[in-house]
Amino acid sequence: MKLLITRPLPEAVLAPARAAFNLTMRDSTAPMSEAEMTAALAEQDIILPTLGDRFSSDIFAAVPAPRARLLANFGVGYNHIDVAAAHAAGLRVTNTPGAVTDATADIALTLMLMSARRAGEGERLVRAGRWEGWHPTQMLGLHMSGKVLGIIGMGRIGQAIAKRAHFGFGMQVVYHTRTPRPLPALPEARALPGLHDVMKAADIVVIAAPASAETRHMIDASALAAMQPHAHLVNIARGDIIDEQALIAALQAGQIAGAGLDVYEHEPDVPEALRALENVVLLPHLGTAALEVRVQMGLMALENALALRDGRPLPNPV
């Protein structure tokens, strides 16, 4: 069977892929073009796409009788794929849940600390040669230990963040989720009835919800207005969950103390107004950027491809 991998992946993933399939790998790190996506649907049996490869309904409509039977997505998020259109065209879709949980939770804690303790601002101060030495009121930030953490979305990643914050930093955890579930490992965590209730209660809010039509711009001007003036907002989910312009306005006005972002509404484009702000930490989508994590993700996507080849149930259908 023919397999297309749409971006360069670690050799630990490519070697078993070559052994099992007639493999083609794009050398480019940029998202696929429309022409590349339609050609892949017509010519490949399995496609291993990732973030930015926008398999929209128009792409499937352009190939009425695709050869491809599976999009084995490299990543847990799959909002770049129109799953309903894929199913209608006869393709299955899978993702890589679990493989990204701990690494993404670690980045959330990184951003929480960096934003609360003004680490990005401090590093820029030192690099610019403007640091004049320690003094008692220099760059005072938010002491994170013992504070209230609000989590929006309490799936695998949200729970992993909560455990790190509660057991590592003694933080109280409140959360809002669209899918209530028992949390035996977090008996102290409190579910609040609405999004704004969490935004009001928390000293730090972390977005860990999946991207969908329902969650787009869920964090809007009114949600930001509900936050406390000393509070910080962190996003490690998907960029369009936050209304980026509303966030810029809130940060510019000092309506909230700061933000830490690993994802952006139109990435890789980051608005100049956001880049100019001192009270925001900006990372280049590093959530899963560890070699062993990317290998695990690739092998999980490959296992879904092998299951299709062998006629077995797909391990991770969406």
3-state secondary structure 144-205: CCCCEEEEECCCHHHHHHHHHHHHHHCCEEEEECCCCCCCCCCCCCEECCCHHHHHHHCCEE
Taking 50 as the pLDDT cut, the residues of the chain under it are: none
Is 67 among the residues known to form the active site?
Answer: no
- 10 Å Cβ neighbour count for 246? 18
Tokens of residue 166, six digits: 């509660």
Distance CA 314, CA 305 (A): 8
Is 285 among the residues known to form the active site?
Answer: yes
- 10 Å Cβ neighbour count for 170? 11
Q: Which residue has the tokens 């989720």?
A: 177
Distance CA 202, CA 210 (A): 20
Tokens of residue 301, six digits: 């996507």
Tokens of residue 245, six digits: 């312009």
pLDDT at 313: 98
The domains located in the chain, with CATH, are: 2-99+290-310 (3.40.50.720), 101-282 (3.40.50.720)
DSSP 131: -
Instruction: Find the distance separating the first CA and the last CA of the chain, reported in whole Å.
Output: 22
Catalytic pick among 67, 285, 303, 309: 285
Chain length of the chain: 318
Q: At what angle do helices 291-310 and 11-20 cross, to 10 degrees?
A: 10
Do the Cβ atoms of 110 and 116 come closer than 8 Å?
no
pLDDT at 181: 84
Is 196 among the residues known to form the active site?
Answer: no
pLDDT at 202: 98
Q: Which residue has the tokens 């409509």?
A: 61
Catalytic pick among 230, 267, 303, 309: 267
For the full predicted model, state whether its pTM sits above 0.75.
yes
Catalytic pick among 80, 118, 238, 294: 238
Tokens of residue 52, six digits: 């930015």
pLDDT at 130: 97
Do the Cβ atoms of 74 and 297 come closer than 8 Å?
yes
Tokens of residue 258, six digits: 């700061």
Do the Cβ atoms of 301 and 48 come closer than 8 Å?
yes
